[in-house]
Amino acid sequence: MTQPDTEQLLNLADRAERGPLTPDEAARLRDGITKLATHIDEYRDMWRSNMRAMVEQEQRADRYRTAWTSARTRAEVARHVARSNRRHVAAIVPDLEAATTRAEQLDDLLRIANDTSNTSETERVRAVERADRATDAIARVRAECDRIEAAVRDSATDQDLAGGYLACLRHIRAALDPQEPQL
């Protein structure tokens, strides 16, 4: 016996309204009801599976949104640090250039003071003091370079940007240590 289709089930229901069903008709009605119940269970299971998949997909999307927001926040912080460091380095460069120039001038003055016997001791002492002040200024610039480097290494999230700052600091430090003239 094959399971009845929808039209046959409706005919059996009409027949049941008019009187008792034969055992064969009752069996066909039961088979049809079982078939419908099976389809309902299958559709319910499929719906639950789809709902679970949608929930998992939404959770995955939430994780991606959270990760994206976190990355965006870190990028904003890195941009802020970079702007701040850029302003700071820009403020130091003129002082560094002036200190280097002063150190070179003072070095020349010291050489002249030592080579010239007519130079008074007072002038030589003043030149030494200026050289000491220039040396102190260079030490402060070096310390500031060390502080900036530590800040960049501790807080930089963009390696290209951090590399740029570190390269800039290397140039500043190289300017602080001029090469002796070669003969």
User: Distance between the two ends of the chain, CA-based, in angstroms?
Assistant: 114
Q: Which residue has the tokens 């080579």?
A: 115
From the centroid of its chain, how far is CA 156?
9
Average per-residue pLDDT for the chain = 80
Please choose, from the candidates 106, 100, 101, the residue with its C-alpha nearest in 3D space to the C-alpha of residue 141: 100
pLDDT tens digits, 111-132: 776 666 555 677 778 888 888 8
Top-confidence residue, 134 or 114: 134
| pLDDT of 40 above 60 | yes
10 Å Cβ neighbour count for 35? 15
Residue pair 162/152 in contact by the 8 Å Cβ criterion: yes
| pLDDT of 182 above 50 | no
Mean pLDDT for the stretch of residues 77-88: 80
Determine if residue 147 is left, alpha or beta; phi over 0 gives left, psi from -120 to 50 gives alpha, anything else beta: alpha
Mean pLDDT for the stretch of residues 9-38: 79
Alpha-carbon span 6 to 43, nearest angstrom: 17
- Model pTM greater than 0.95? no
| pLDDT of 13 above 60 | yes
Mean pLDDT for the stretch of residues 165-177: 80
Per-domain boundaries in the chain: 6-59, 76-176
